[in-house]
Amino acid sequence: MPAMVSNPLHEALQHAIRTVGPMIEQINSDVERPCRMFRSGKVWTGPTAKHFDAQLNLFSTRARTSGQAIMDELRQLLGRTPSEVTEEEADSIRRKYGIA
């Protein structure tokens, strides 16, 4: 039976989750802050402000759901990726994905 080694793709997906997760959290925070300020009623009021608020809310929701979809996809891929493979498979994965 061939010796098993760490799967470079599994490691790359873990790295992506550790890297992208905080970025998405920061985006969510950065988008939510102006939304809260706008909804305070101290920034702008009136019919045009209400229309702008609806658009701002739409974009904020889109940013959050897109970020969540990215993280969900990465986690699903990680869950389907074995943590160990044969050395031959690891070499093939490195070549295929350009992993050093």
Task: Encode the chain (100 residues) as per-residue pLDDT tens digits.
Answer: 889 999 999 999 999 999 999 999 999 999 998 888 888 888 888 899 889 999 999 999 999 999 999 999 999 999 999 999 999 999 999 999 999 8
CA 47: distance to chain centroid?
35
Domain interval for residue 65: 4-97
Residue 17, classed as helix, strand or coil, is helix
Residue 45 DSSP class: -
Total tally of structural domains belonging to the chain: 1
